[in-house]
């Protein structure tokens, strides 16, 4: 039954991509239904009696589940329909990933409560910075579109606006988008800091040392440093525009490599079962 729910959620996500933008209520309702199916199926699949399923597919699926919620809430306050065509197709793919790559079950007996909190906080951090990355991509497209419109006006090329152009035209002003982006980054950085700190406690209890210098730790700390530098540059140097977008996308790419990338290599390529 869970398999059918996963597939149904994926189909609903994809269906929403092709709905006209003016059907906002229909889109909101269908996305909410897909999100509930996604979350319920994920919960039933991940949480077992005294054990927890872990793996790169679970992390990606949970991350996009929270990201869809962030899109849904943002779109109610601002006209950010462009996020729909970026977030929902990827969410549809990540919904069915656990069916293809189930990961492995980790017993919770003897594990510290910090372990669960560490996982929850890390998923929230991943999700917040994922939606920030989508936001940054949207801003890159918006900026390119604005320059393109300026060029077209100068050369009297008044061609009919494409679907993408119409979507980008409905976005808030770039300054508003930038403010939203930095709010997301600041919150994501706070959550990422909590992830690092809870990881230190968990590592101390499990391995007897604060840091276990593996790929996950190195990439996480590098991503944390990049986002921290971006926020500091914004505050004291007024960084914005392309600089801010580049830092956001590079920081997110590094963070993606921290857990999802390393787990993918270990599970899928090297076929190693790890906790």
Q: What is the pLDDT of residues 47-102, one digit of tens each?
A: 777 777 777 788 888 889 988 998 888 877 777 777 888 889 999 999 998 888 87
CB proximity list for 197: less than 8 A, separation 6 or greater: none
The reported pLDDT for the residue numbered 154 is 42
Most confident of 40-54, 93-107, 159-173, 236-250: 236-250
Q: What is the pLDDT of residues 1-23, one digit of tens each?
A: 678 888 999 999 999 988 887 88
CA separation for the pair 100, 204 (Å, rounded): 34
The reported pLDDT for the residue numbered 224 is 92
Q: What is the pLDDT of residues 122-169, one digit of tens each?
A: 888 888 898 999 889 888 888 887 766 544 444 444 444 566 676 777
CB proximity list for 35: less than 8 A, separation 6 or greater: 9, 65, 68, 69, 72
Please, where are the H alpha helices in 155-214? Answer: 163-169, 174-207
| 79 touches 172 (CB < 8 A) | yes
CB proximity list for 257: less than 8 A, separation 6 or greater: 215, 219
E strand or H helix that includes residue 210: none
Q: What is the pLDDT of residues 205-220, one digit of tens each?
A: 555 555 566 677 788 8
């Amino acid at each position: 039954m869970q398999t059918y729910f996963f597939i149904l959620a994926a189909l609903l996500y994809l269906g929403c991509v092709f709905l006209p933008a003016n059907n906002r209520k229909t889109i909101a309702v269908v996305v909410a239904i897909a999100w509930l199916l996604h979350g319920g199926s994920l919960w039933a699949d991940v949480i077992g009696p005294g054990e927890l399923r872990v793996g790169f597919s679970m992390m990606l699926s949970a991350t996009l589940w929270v990201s869809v919620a962030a899109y849904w809430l943002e779109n109610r306050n601002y006209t950010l329909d462009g996020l729909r065509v970026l977030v929902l197709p990827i969410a549809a793919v990540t919904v069915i990933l656990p069916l293809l790559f189930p990961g492995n079950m980790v017993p919770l007996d003897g594990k510290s409560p910090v372990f669960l909190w560490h996982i929850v906080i890390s998923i929230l951090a991943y999700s917040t910075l994922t939606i920030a990355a989508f936001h940054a991509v949207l801003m890159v497209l918006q900026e390119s579109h604005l320059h393109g419109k300026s060029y077209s006006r100068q050369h009297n090329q008044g061609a009919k606006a494409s679907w993408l152009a119409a979507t980008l035209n409905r976005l808030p002003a770039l300054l508003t988008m930038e403010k939203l982006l930095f709010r997301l980054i600041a919150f994501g950085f706070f959550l990422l800091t909590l992830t690092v700190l809870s990881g230190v406690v968990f590592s101390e209890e499990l391995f007897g040392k604060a840091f276990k210098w593996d790929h996950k730790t190195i990439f996480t700390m590098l991503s944390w440093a990049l986002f921290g530098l971006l926020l500091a540059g914004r505050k004291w140097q007024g960084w914005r525009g392309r600089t801010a977008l580049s830092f956001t996308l590079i920081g997110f790419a590094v963070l993606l490599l921290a857990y999802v990338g390393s787990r993918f290599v270990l599970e899928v390529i090297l076929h190693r079962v790890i906790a």
